[in-house]
Amino acid sequence: MTTDLLSIDHSKTPLEALLASFGNVVRAHLKQDSGCVSYVIDQGPRRLFVKAARTSQGAESLSRAQVLHAAVRRPSLPPLLNAFDCPEGPAHVYEWVPGEVLYDYVTMNGERGRRDPSSAHARFRALPVPQILDALEVIYDLHVQIADAGFTAVDFYDGCILYDFDQRRTWICDLDEYRPGPFTLDAERLPGSHRFMAPEEFTRGATIDQRTNVYTLGRTAAVLLSDGDLRSDAWRSSDAMREVLLRATSPERDERFPSIAEFARTWRDASLAEAAS
**Domain segments of the chain: what residues?**
15-95, 100-276
| pLDDT surpasses 80 at 108 | no
| pLDDT surpasses 50 at 1 | no
Q: Which has the higher per-residue pLDDT, 228 or 93?
A: 93
What is the helix (H) or strand (E) element at residue 128, kind and residue range? none
| pLDDT surpasses 80 at 134 | yes
Average model confidence (pLDDT) across the chain: 91
Alpha helices in the chain (DSSP H): 15-22, 56-71, 120-125, 129-148, 210-225, 239-248, 260-276
pLDDT band (50, 70, 90) for residue 109: very low
Percent of the chain with pLDDT over 90: 78
pLDDT tens profile 137-153: 999 999 999 999 999 99
Reported CATH class of domain 15-95: alpha beta
Cis peptide before 180 (omega within 30 of 0): no
- Which among 47, 58, 55, 54 is positioned nearest to 23, based on CA atoms? 47
DSSP 163: E
Amino acid (1-letter code) at residue 137: E
| pLDDT surpasses 60 at 105 | no
Q: How many other CB atoms are found less than 10 A from the CB of residue 150?
A: 12
* Superfamily designation of domain 100-276: Transferase(Phosphotransferase) domain 1 (1.10.510.10)
Burial category of 204 from C-beta neighbours within 10 Å (exposed 0-12, middle 13-18, buried 19 and up): exposed
Q: How many other CB atoms are found less than 10 A from the CB of residue 170?
A: 23
Using CA atoms, how far residue 215 sits from 54, 91, 157, 176, 178, in Å, is 32, 32, 12, 19, 15
Q: Name the 3-class secondary structure at 141.
A: helix
pTM: 0.92
Q: Which residues face 28 on adjacent strands?
A: 39
Q: Which has the higher per-residue pLDDT, 135 or 232?
A: 135
| pLDDT surpasses 70 at 277 | no
- Per the CB < 8 A criterion, the answer to whether 183 and 208 are in contact is yes
- 209 phi and psi angles, rounded to 5 deg: -150, -160
Q: What is the mean pLDDT of residues 103-117?
A: 56
pLDDT band (50, 70, 90) for residue 114: low
Would you give the distance in Å from CA 108 to the centre of its chain? 24
pLDDT tens profile 50-72: 999 999 999 999 999 999 999 99
Handedness of CA 228, 258, 250, 243 (dihedral sign): positive
pLDDT tens profile 11-42: 999 999 999 998 899 989 887 778 899 999 99
| pLDDT surpasses 60 at 111 | no
